Amino acid sequence: MKQTAIRLGALALCLTLLAGWTLACADTTQSGGSDEFPATVEGAQEFVQQAQETLLDLMVEGGRADWVQATYITEDTQALAAAANEKITATSVRMAKEAARFDGLDLPYDTRRQLGLLKQALTLPAPSDPAKTAEVARLASSLDAAFGTGKYCRSEENCLTLDEMILTMSTSRDPEELLELWSGWRQISPPMRADFARLVELVNKGAAELGYSDLGAMWRSKYDMDPDDFSAELDRLWEQVRPLYEKLHCHVRAKLAQAYGELQVPLDQPIPAHLLGNMWAQTWANVYDLVAPADADPGYDLTERLVAAGMEPEDIVHAGERFFSSLGFDPLPDTFWTRSQFVRPRDRDVICHASAWDLDYEDDLRIKMCISINAEDFNTIHHELGHNYYQRAYKEQPFLYRDSANDGFHEAVGDTIALSVTPKYLVEIGLLDAEPDPSKDIGLLLNQALDKVAFLPFGLLIDQWRWRVFSGEVGPDEYNDDWWALREKYQGVRPPIARADTDFDPGAKYHVPGNVPYTRYFLAHILQFQFHRALCEAAGNTGPLHRCSIYNNKAAGEKLIAMLEMGASRPWPEALEAITGQSKMDATAILDYFAPLSQWLDEQNEGRACGW
């Protein structure tokens, strides 16, 4: 599974300082002085209205600059992005501070909620000092570009892109080659460390100006609950799924030890990170062939089927569109097909990291991706289109509500759709002749678990690490040691070679130099199964949860559309209840989905020493 991204919803995007998604914002002297908006109910309402109008205009203008920066990386586009960041940061900080002036008033619900969204949506709040605002913008743009242009060069004539290394690591079983690529990619990140440390220092000052102890506390405040309560909620959800993860880890380690030998994979230690088929060991589906049951071959390989069908990148996107149309969604606009990036251009550097964009908050929807004809990207495009259809569903909301109920929801919707890419669905669209026999379900479930369940601790730990950095508990000289301590604690993986204090392995993962909060992905992995269970119930499914597809079911589509149209207008527990009937996140749907696999893992692990 790829970790994908969206070009964030209205407020979140406008106030998010992601170098690849920067905005050209208005002069900071415009719109919003305290004399213009007195601290009254009427003043608050007028301020919110004008803020929405200003932000919408800026977003439409700035979105096009963001797109060019992400799809045409040059020194000029980076400079333009940095300049835009400087303006947006100053404007957003000013708006957040102005919004705080109305805290003591008894305000109507919508005014109070929209003010709260204004205050909490900043991702990288710069200090109000113009020079420091400019520095934050420059650092963010530089870090993002350093990742986007990163390559591993064996020689001047032999340089590998990240895409090429990912592809090789997904199939290679040569531990020396895997180690070379793993360590080679991590050569791009040590130069980022000083810039990242300086950025942390600056944005913590910006968060303090807004009343937060540090940036981590500010990020955790965005979930309609107390930051400490949110941390406790994450712990509760992790404890629900941890036993299943530990069963999976035990089985995978034992099978890797059989493949590579116990000297490479000791049975009482964390798994070496380069042997799990993924550059970051965040998902393990690429080692399925090494760990699968002997008799679980479902009789087809989706990648082979896609290639045999002669599918091109745009054909895969059309297949995803047809899924949504079958649920009752309108077709995508013509401009989606003419303006999206589906393949890597040959003439320039681009950020290929898959993302979904909404440039005008109406119908200018786009995908930015470098599609390969394989099963992974077939699933990814269903996921990314989930973002686009969500974006269009809430376009009738006031501008500040044109976002998901929380950031985990946006990711979960796309993943929920991808869960319906089942053998039953593949039969219905002509890619399979018949569904595999139920006796093959263990193999299919194991493959899914290597993607979904294996990801859970990784999805949790990235922000756990950043929150420790933001709080000052972990300093620059401890960045790498703490990173690997958390990876061992949660994932049970370790670096394959010794790491130095001067290394900066977190920077080798896009979301760290790209400054994208990551807890959303952990939440999405919980919520997608909760959504899937509810939509399957709406569709009248009576079979096993893992065999359900909501393709071509209008009843499930109506339930989904109703939730999407709410946008961010209500607290997320209400949006959750609208689609699931529950107001609390619940990981038991994951346990329901993987119940047959859990029992099988118990049988396989009998007599093994699990844990690390």
Active site residues: 353-354, 383-384, 387, 411, 511, 521
Q: How far apart are the first and last CA of the chain?
A: 25
DSSP letter, residue 491 = I
Look-up of token digits 């709410």: 566
Paired tokens of 140? 């963010």
Number of residues that this document lists for the chain:
612
The position carrying tokens 């998902």 is: 283
Q: Which two tokens stand for residue 223?
A: 């979930």
| Cα(28)–Cα(88) distance, integer angstroms | 9
On the CB side of 351, CA atoms within 13 Å amount to 33
- Taking CA atoms, 57 is separated from 29, 88, 316, 359, 389, in Å, by 16, 13, 33, 11, 22
Separation of alpha carbons 117 and 405, rounded Å: 11
| Integer CA distances (angstroms), 592 to 221, 244, 326, 580, 589, in order | 31, 11, 26, 15, 5
- The helices-and-strands tally (H runs, E runs) of the chain is 24, 7
Distance of CA 480 to the CA centre of its chain: 22
Two structure tokens written together for 174: 């040569």
CA angle 524, 527, 528 (to 5 degrees): 80
Instruction: Say if residues 566 and 395 touch (Cβ distance below 8 Å).
Output: no
Q: Are 12 and 122 within 8 A, CB to CB?
A: no
Q: Which residues pair with 368 in a beta bridge?
A: 341, 355
Strand arrangement, sheet containing 5-6: 5-6, 355-358, 365-368
Beta strands in 285-370 (DSSP E): 355-358, 365-368
Per the CB < 8 A criterion, the answer to whether 400 and 118 are in contact is yes
